[in-house]
Amino acid sequence: MAQIATEKSGIIKQGRPVVLAPQEDSARKVVETIAKDRSAPITIIGEDLHYTSLEHSFSGQTVQLWGSTDQQKMDELIEHPEETSWQPITLKLPLLGYHQVQNAATAYAAIEIARGEGVKISDAAIKEGFASVEWPGRFEIINQEPLIVVDSAHNLDSALKLRLALDDYIGDRKVALIFGASEDKDIKGMFSVLIPRVTHLIATQSTHPRAMLANKLVELAHQFGRSATATLDIGEALTKAVELAKGDEVIIVAGSIFVAAAAREEWFKMTSTPNKQNT
């Protein structure tokens, strides 16, 4: 993680502001050190700018942000809401998952820095921008009944975020997972996080040359005590998952950006639903 942070920190310019999203301690220390060496003022999300998700549903969430200098006001608002007129920054965000709250806070901090340097962006434009943002393949709901969620989680970190979002939004509903991944990814790590939450597992593969064979994914699933079926066709995988999805069971597609993209394309084709990214 520290090595990756060092490489990413190459974009830090002498004397130019830096916004740092929540990181592991090792990565954070690297970025802070490099920023200090280059006299780059740093805004740390979670310390200099705080965030929370006030409420959330499948249609989105309400995000609240406040600076560290306003922490006392926020405390007073929580304890005595009727006695204060101060309010934190409130944004509507259609993206799902708590990690998207962190992303929104990071983006907002960067916007505020730009405004401080003279870039003209109105409060209304900021709110409209956040309210209309789209991010295909990031805990994206492409169908309601049955509920189908496409997520491009393709490493352990993003699989953890997916698992947290599942626990947060899906609760104890059963899950059918369509999974395909590249051979060079930490598939065992992703399985260790996701498989305990899965009732049915359908292994598939994209057309990418690095894609792990679906049959190998089935073998790996067996190592985690989970039976699975394999299909090379993502459209067929979706059809099987829909057949398996009894009651309120949820279908999740994950493991690869390529699988997520193919699943979206296949589903919109199968259902003759317009792909809003192409309209």
Sheet of 60-67: strands edge to edge?
A: 49-57, 60-67, 89-93
Residue 206: which residues within 8 A CB-CB, separation 6 or more?
Answer: 180, 234, 256, 258, 259, 262
Closest alpha carbon to 23 in 40, 38, 14, 35: 35
pLDDT for position 4: 86
pLDDT for position 275: 64
Which burial class, exposed, middle or buried, applies to 21 when counting CB atoms under 10 A from its CB (0-12, 13-18, 19+)?
A: middle
228 and 196 fall within a common domain? yes
235 and 183 fall within a common domain? yes
pLDDT for position 272: 78
pLDDT for position 276: 56
pLDDT for position 170: 93
| C-alpha to C-alpha distance for 88 and 77, rounded to whole angstroms | 9
271 and 177 fall within a common domain? yes
144 and 274 fall within a common domain? yes
DSSP state at residue 112: H
89 and 192 fall within a common domain? no
144 and 243 fall within a common domain? yes
55 and 36 fall within a common domain? no
| C-alpha to C-alpha distance for 226 and 224, rounded to whole angstroms | 6
pLDDT for position 246: 82
pLDDT for position 279: 38
| C-alpha to C-alpha distance for 52 and 65, rounded to whole angstroms | 7
Quote the domain boundaries for residue 36.
Answer: 2-44
Instruction: Name the domain count of the chain.
Output: 3
270 and 163 fall within a common domain? yes
Closest alpha carbon to 206 in 178, 226, 170: 178
CATH number of the domain that residue 242 is part of: 3.90.190.20
| C-alpha to C-alpha distance for 248 and 143, rounded to whole angstroms | 13
Token representation of residue 243: 């057949």
Residue 39: which residues within 8 A CB-CB, separation 6 or more?
Answer: 14, 15
31 and 53 fall within a common domain? no
pLDDT tens series, the chain, 279 aa = 788 889 889 999 999 999 999 999 999 999 999 999 999 999 999 999 999 999 999 999 999 999 999 999 999 999 999 888 999 999 999 999 999 999 999 999 999 999 999 999 999 999 999 999 999 999 999 999 999 999 999 999 999 999 999 999 999 999 999 999 999 999 999 999 999 999 999 999 999 999 999 999 999 999 999 989 999 999 999 999 999 888 889 999 999 999 999 999 999 999 876 665 443
228 and 105 fall within a common domain? no
- Which parts of 186-267 are beta strand (E)? 200-203, 229-230, 250-254
